[in-house]
């Protein structure tokens, strides 16, 4: 059984134009094309489309999605991992909905607001223990204070910058450019600048050391950046951010060269 492009566009809540674009860039090929030129999609194609739309929902760009699909060809395995993430998000959103509903009821009814319940589901501290173990309690406290002090627009801008950096790493690795190339080294430079802007990281703390003018202690930053690259490879969670195992290896090698030659 298969479905026409018009049927799929309607069912998936997208457009025929989008599906044709996905075909044109090799992201989603139709299972067959009729004599009239109409595209048709079978069950495997629908599974592929579901994965694409899930990844789009995470804010990933099409080049990154293509890389993710290539890295994990086992659709059932990939969707199982995504399902676990969705369940976690479902739980978090359910707690947010409950806390906001409770606040609205208290505000409208003139009741007492329970501070302990207001921020259930808004937790961004799930990595607290890990950060404190790696870099100390002070590092977490600085980063936590920095994040809480940002406005919604500032947080959105920071997330966009982080996402763009990840996409650029993946695209560079997929293009096969050398870690010591000017293009790769420029991404490494931006990566270090990004790290330097996060209070509590060794890169940020070292910035104020040295000559008293804000120039960072490059020895400290060099060791931190090199170690971070090794951590990206050792910790499988980072593979999702940098295009798989090969991607994290590319990031590590590029950062190591940047740290050696530019820090």
Strands (E), the chain: 3-4, 32-33, 39-41
pLDDT value at residue 215: 46
CA gap 228, 158 in Å, rounded: 20
- Evaluate if residue 8 carries a pLDDT over 50: yes
Residue 90 binned pLDDT confidence (cut-offs 50, 70, 90): confident
CA gap 126, 188 in Å, rounded: 27
Residue 205 binned pLDDT confidence (cut-offs 50, 70, 90): low
Higher pLDDT, 160 or 236: 160
Written in H, E and C, the secondary structure of 105-137 is HHHHHCCCCCHHHHCCCCCCCCCHHHHHHHHCH
CA gap 26, 210 in Å, rounded: 51
Give pLDDT tens digits for 172-194: 998 899 999 999 999 999 999 98
């Amino acid at each position: 059984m298969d479905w026409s492009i018009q049927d799929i566009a309607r069912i998936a809540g997208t457009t025929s134009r989008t599906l044709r674009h996905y075909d044109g860039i090799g992201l989603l090929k139709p299972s067959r094309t009729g004599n009239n030129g109409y595209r048709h999609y079978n069950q495997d194609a629908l599974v592929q489309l579901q994965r694409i739309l899930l990844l789009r929902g995470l804010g990933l760009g099409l080049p990154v999605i293509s890389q993710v699909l290539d890295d994990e060809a086992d659709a059932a395995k990939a969707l199982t991992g995504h399902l676990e993430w969705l369940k976690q998000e479902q739980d978090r959103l359910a707690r947010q909905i409950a806390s906001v509903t409770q606040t609205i009821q208290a505000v409208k009814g003139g009741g007492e607001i329970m501070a302990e319940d207001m921020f259930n589901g808004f937790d961004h501290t799930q990595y607290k223990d890990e950060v404190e173990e790696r870099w100390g309690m002070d590092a977490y406290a600085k980063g936590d204070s920095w994040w809480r002090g940002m406005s919604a627009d500032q947080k959105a801008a920071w997330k966009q910058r982080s996402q763009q950096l990840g996409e650029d790493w993946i695209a560079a690795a997929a293009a096969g450019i050398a870690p010591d190339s000017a293009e790769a080294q420029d991404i490494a430079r931006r990566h270090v600048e990004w790290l330097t802007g996060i209070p509590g990281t060794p890169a940020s703390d070292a910035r104020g050391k040295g000559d008293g003018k804000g120039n960072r202690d490059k020895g400290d930053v060099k060791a931190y950046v090199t170690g971070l690259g090794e951590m990206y490879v050792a910790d499988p969670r980072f593979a999702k951010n940098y295009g798989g195992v090969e991607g994290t290896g590319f990031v590590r090698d590029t950062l190591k060269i940047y740290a050696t030659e530019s820090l």
